[in-house]
Structure 1
Amino acid sequence: MQVVATTGMIADTARRIGGDAVEVKGLMGPGVDPHAYRQTRTDIVALTKADLVLWHGLYLEAQMEDFMHKLEKRGTVVAVTDTLPVELLNGHDQYADKFDPHVWMDPRLWVFVTERIRDALIDAQPEGEARFVANAETFLAELSDLSDYAETALTSVPDGARTLLTAHDAFGYFGAAYGFSVLGVQGISTNSEAGLNRISELVDTLIERDIKAVFVESSVSDRTVRALVEGAAAKGHDVSIGGELYSDAMGPDGTYEGTYVGMIDHNITVIADALGGNVPARGMNSRLSAGS
C-alpha cells in the first residue's frame, strides 16, 4: 500500500504501524517548516497516486490547506488529528476558530493520532487489520514509556527554572503536560514576525525570571533567539543557548532522533539537562547521539 504523509512524525508513526505492508513517503524532511511548506510538482503526483494520504490538519500545513481539501474529494485522505477531543486542544493565538497544531509535543496526545492512523490503515487495507493492531500496540507501549520518562526527567527540574523559551510557540502542549511556562519569540505559526518590542519584552522577562538558558529549533532560524541572548548580555544578564530542539520536524534520517520517539526523547533530555534537571546523558534508552 502506497502511503503519503506530510510531516516526519506522521510518516514515522505510519511506518511503525504499517510495517512491511506499507510504503510510506514523507513530504517534509529534517529541518523543514510545515507552516510555510508548499507542495511541489513531485508532491502533487505522489499525493494523487497514493492509496492513502495522511496529513496533520489543525492548520499546521497552512500553505497546503486548500489543496488537501480538494484532494479529499478524489481519494482516501485523512487528517490524523480529526478525532482529538476539542477540550484537549489549545486555542490558536491569532485565530478564534483555530487550534494550536503542535499536539505531538505531548506523547499522551499522540496516542489519539496513533490510533487514528491505525484505523485509517485498516480502512484502506482491511486484510492487514491484525498486523496493524499488533504493531500499534507495540508503539503505544513505547509512547507510555516515553510519557513516564518525561514525567521523571522534567519534574527533576527545579520549580524556579521551569521556563522554556524557544524560537516559536511550539511547546504549549509540552508546557501544559509537564508544568513549564512556555514563551516563544514568534507565535504558533512561524509566519508571524517577531518585532523589536517583542524581543525587548522577552529580554526583560529573561532578567526578571533569572532565566539562564534558551533554546533554538532545528526548523526555525536561530536569528531571533540569538538576538535575545545578545540583548540580555547588553543588560548584564548571561544567558546561554541550552541546545537545539526538534519542534516542527524530526532529526536526521536514519538516526534515532529521526524517529518520533527519538525526537521527543531528545527534547526532554536537552531541556531537563539545560535547566538543571537530572537526566541520563543519552536519554531514555541510551540511544541519543553523543553530544545530542
Structure 2
Amino acid sequence: MRRLFAFAFLLSFLVGCNSGENPSTSNASDSQDSGKELTYPIQAAATVGMVADLIKNVGGDHVNVTQIMGSGVDPHMHKATRDDVQTIMNADIVFYSGLMLEGKMADTLIKVSRNKPVYAVTELIDEKTLLEPDDFDGHYDPHVWMDVAAWSECVDAVQTALSNFNPTHAKDYQENAKAYKQQLENLHQYGLKIVKSIPEESRILVTSHDAFNYFGRAYGLNVQGVQGISTESEAGLKRINELVNMLVNKNIKAVFVESSVSKKNITALIDGAKAQGHDIIIGGELFSDAMGEPDTYEGTYIGMLDHNFTTVTRALGGTAPERGMQDKLSH
C-alpha cells in the first residue's frame, strides 16, 4: 500500500468515538456508542471549501460546518494555526480531503483522530481513478475535485461517515447524497458538452501549477502547469522557456491564472511570448485549490467548476453561456 493511502487509512482507523460538547441550537439529541449525548446541529470541521461543500449538501440542516481554510488559501502551504486547532477540537466530527493535499496539517489531524472521528473524503475512490504523476514522488495527485465524476464518489464517503456517526438521520443523509450526486452528474455533462466546442487544436490549458490534470483527463484538454503538483515546487527557467515555445508554436492565445497561486509565473510566460512576437492574454482566473468567496455562487463546488468550465471554454474559442450552466456566474 502506498504511503499516501496508508496515511488516509491511518486516520480512518485511529478515530475515536468522542462527540463534542458544543452548545445545541435545539433540544434534539442522539445516542452514540460512547454513551455521550449528541446535540444538533452536529458540529463538523472541514479543511477546504470543496470538502465543506460536500458536508453541507449531505448533512443538510442536521450539520453545521466550519471551514478551516478560506477562499484564496493554498492548502499545500497551510499550517494549522491556534484557531484552526481550536476549530477542530470543538468539532464533533472532522473531514479533510486527503491524498496529502493538507500535508502540513497531517500531525494535527492524526492527533485529533485519537479522540474523535476524522475522515478523508477521498478514501473510497478507486485507486485506478487516481493519477500518479512521475514528478510527485510516488504519491497520487490530490486534485480529484477537478473531475466531477470522480469527486462525486466522495459523496458516498461523507454519507457513510455521517450515517454511522448519527444513525437517527441516516435516511436524510442518504436522500441528500442521492440528490446532490444528480446535481453533480448534470455539472459533469455540462463540462463534457461545452469543452467539446473548443477547436481541437486549441484544447491546451496552461495554468500556474499542475492542479488541472484530472480536469484535462476528464474533459479532453492538454493541461500544462508552470509549477508541479504542489505550489511548493519552484518553476525553473527551463520549464518557462519550454512553455513559451509551445505557446508560440501552437499559436495559443490565452493562459490562465489561479485564485490561490501567485501570478508571477504566468506573467513570465506572457512576457516571454511577447518577446517572440506572439501576444497572449490572461483568459481568466480559475479556481484550483480554493473556491470563490463565501455566500457567492462561485463559493460553492458546483459554482467553482461551472466557472472553470465556462471560463476555459470561452477563452479558448469554444461556445458557452456567458453566465454559465445555471446563469448564475457573477463574471
Which band: TM-score by shorter chain?
over 0.9
Given candidates 62, 70, 73, the residue that maps to 1:21 is 62
Point out the structure with max Rg over C-alpha. Answer: 2
Deviation at 1:29, TM superposition (A): 0.7
Task: Give how far 1:67 is off.
Answer: 2.1
Q: 2:49·2:67 contact (CA, 8 Å) conserved in 1?
A: yes
Deviation string 1:88-143 (CA, Å, 9 cap, x unpaired) is 10004434431000000011011111111111111111111111111111111110
Distance 1:4 1:266 in 2: 26
Pick aligned residue for 2:101 from 54, 60, 66: 60
1:189-200 counterparts in 2 under 5 A? 189-200=230-241
Where structure 1 has 5 or more consecutive residues not aligned to the other structure, the ranges are none
Preserved contact between residue 85 and residue 108 of structure 2 (Cα < 8 Å): no
Please tell me the residue identity of whatever aligns with 1:162: R
Corresponding position of 1:98: 139
Give the residue type in structure 1 aligned to 2:177.
Answer: A
Matches within 5 A, 1:194-213: 194-213=235-254
1:134 lines up with 2:158 in the alignment = no
Q: Partner amino acid for 1:129? A: A
For 1:147, which of 178, 188, 193 is the aligned residue?
188
Give 1:228's aligned residue: 269
Find the aligned partners of 1:148 and 1:95 in 2 and give their Cα distance. 30
- 1:32 maps to 73
Instruction: Work out which of the residue numbers 206, 209, 216 in structure 2 matches 1:168.
Output: 209
Match of 1:3 among 28, 41, 44: 44
C-alpha contact (below 8 Å) 1:51/1:124 kept by paired residues: no
Q: Which has the higher contact order (CA 8 A, sep 6+)?
A: 1
Q: 2:321 & 2:131 partners in 1: Cα distance?
A: 31
* Matched AA of 1:275: L
The answer for the alignment partner of 1:271 in structure 2 is: 312
Q: 3-state SS of the aligned residue for 2:256?
A: strand
Q: Determine the C-alpha separation between the residues in 1 that align with 2:138 and 2:319.
A: 40
How many residue pairs were aligned?
290
CA distance in 1, matches of 2:275, 2:323: 34
The equivalent of 1:77 in structure 2 is: 118
Alpha-carbon offset, residue 280 of structure 1: 0.6
Opposite residue 43 of structure 1, the aligned amino acid is D
The whole-number CA distance in structure 1 between the counterparts of 2:211 and 2:137 is 18
Aligned AA for 1:249? A
Distance in 1, matches of 2:170 and 2:97, equals 22
**Partners of 1:191 and 1:84 in 2: how far apart?**
26
Identity between Structure 1 and Structure 2 (%): 48
1:112 match: 153
Is residue 184 of structure 2 the alignment partner of residue 184 of structure 1?
Answer: no
| Greater than 4 Å deviation, 4+ residue runs | none
- How far is 1:66 from its partner? 2.4
What TM-score do you get using the length of structure 2 for normalisation? 0.86
Q: Is the 8 A contact 2:292 2:300 kept in 1?
A: yes
Letter in structure 1 aligned against 2:105: M
- Partner SS, residue 91 of structure 1: coil
Q: Secondary structure at the match of 2:95?
A: strand
CA root-mean-square deviation: 0.9
- SS of equivalent residue, structure 1 residue 104: helix
Q: CA deviation at 1:20?
A: 1.1
Give me the whole-angstrom Cα distance separating, in 2, the residues matched to 1:260 and 1:72: 26
| Per-residue deviation, 1:204 | 0.7
Secondary structure of 2:44's counterpart equals: strand
SS in structure 2 of the partner of residue 43 of structure 1: helix
In structure 1, what is the Cα distance between the partners aligned to 2:101 and 2:151? 15
